[in-house]
Structure 1
């Protein structure tokens, strides 16, 4: 249930209302994700969410345009914080190193609501069709690519690196979060570190076939 806030101090009005907005949006997200999990995403309406939050539909639409925006709010907001952290890294730092440090510093800290991320992960795990909704979000993809392009100083329309790195980083983050949320890893920071260490070593990772081929060539020479 969302209660009305007391009138803010004129001297701190902007800060108080910004915080109030974040809190209300966060509660709407939490309630909506719970309803999606209990009733199914397609069966929940914006009116259902508003009623469960004890707010009017009009108030709901001040925060979110659609229920899809509620679903995507957590990954979008988390990515903004993450990309901002990457932007603040040294300009001459290796791109994957910047992403690794940002992930460990931001997602391993308290700037992102891991409880909401965990709630979203459980929802997606039980409703696989929502994976396409999240992965197909153009805003998420564009932000990943734009951050990489700016760091590399290239145009993603003519240079594939920003797009390829975006896909690799996104999958590394998802894999680390999956490992942590499923209980296979206790330390989220360590999971992020391991995921990015694997990315950094990709060029050196072979397989049985590669090793066998290399051995055969050695015997022939």
Structure 2
């Protein structure tokens, strides 16, 4: 029974990934308006009915590679050493998940599409919100806090989600002149310092 359940879960995960990758590729190739549930299902070689077993609509399928990245952060956070300072754990998992990998160009193209479409932004935020609630429980267990009444685990989880979204969006725009790992470190350092107001002279545009 255990082996059977394991095979079933792996098959479900593979189908979900096939659907999400098909949705992403179609959105990149044809734009969001040109994507339909039927087209996604056909590209993944499943029925439209099967599609709806995994996603409520095309928007959720298109943003799934990004929201799944958020879930990967959660899984890796749970695996960090229990005695590691929580902010060090957060930094480590964000570096692991956000640093460009083999699907680098596709993910950049997807992030640009999502940024330009309000319905996709809404779907992405819903996915991140769910991840943050689960991350708060993991952080609470690591820090001895209570996710039902304490702010701390929810604030740290919120910082994680915000850092992922803001850093990725700024980096995709290519205007910061910084590498993605450096942006992650800078964001977390500013949060840990209490978000001090920037020095106007240091941040002023020297050309302006």
Question: Aligned residue for 2:184?
Answer: 192
Q: How does 1:147-186 map to 2 (within 5 A)?
A: 147-184=138-175, 185=177
The reply on whether 1:95 has 2:68 as its aligned counterpart is no
1:99–1:114 Cα change, 3 Å? farther
Aligned equivalents of 1:88, 1:99: Cα separation in 2: 11
Which protein shows a greater Rg? Answer: 1
Compare 190-199 and 23-32 and name the one that shifted more. 23-32
Contact 1:50 1:60 in 2 (8 A): yes
Compare 187-196 and 152-161 and name the one that shifted more. 187-196
Question: Aligned residue for 1:9?
Answer: none
* Per-residue deviation, 1:127: 0.8
Gaps of 5+ in 1: 1-12, 210-221
Q: TM-score w.r.t. structure 2 length?
A: 0.72
Aligned equivalents of 1:96, 1:206: Cα separation in 2: 21
Aligned length: 196
Aligned equivalents of 1:158, 1:58: Cα separation in 2: 41
Two-structure CA RMSD over aligned residues (Å): 3.5
Question: Aligned residue for 2:110?
Answer: 120
* Per-residue deviation, 1:164: 1.5
User: Out of 193, 197, 203, which is 1:206 matched to?
Assistant: 197
Q: How does 1:12-23 map to 2 (within 5 A)?
A: none
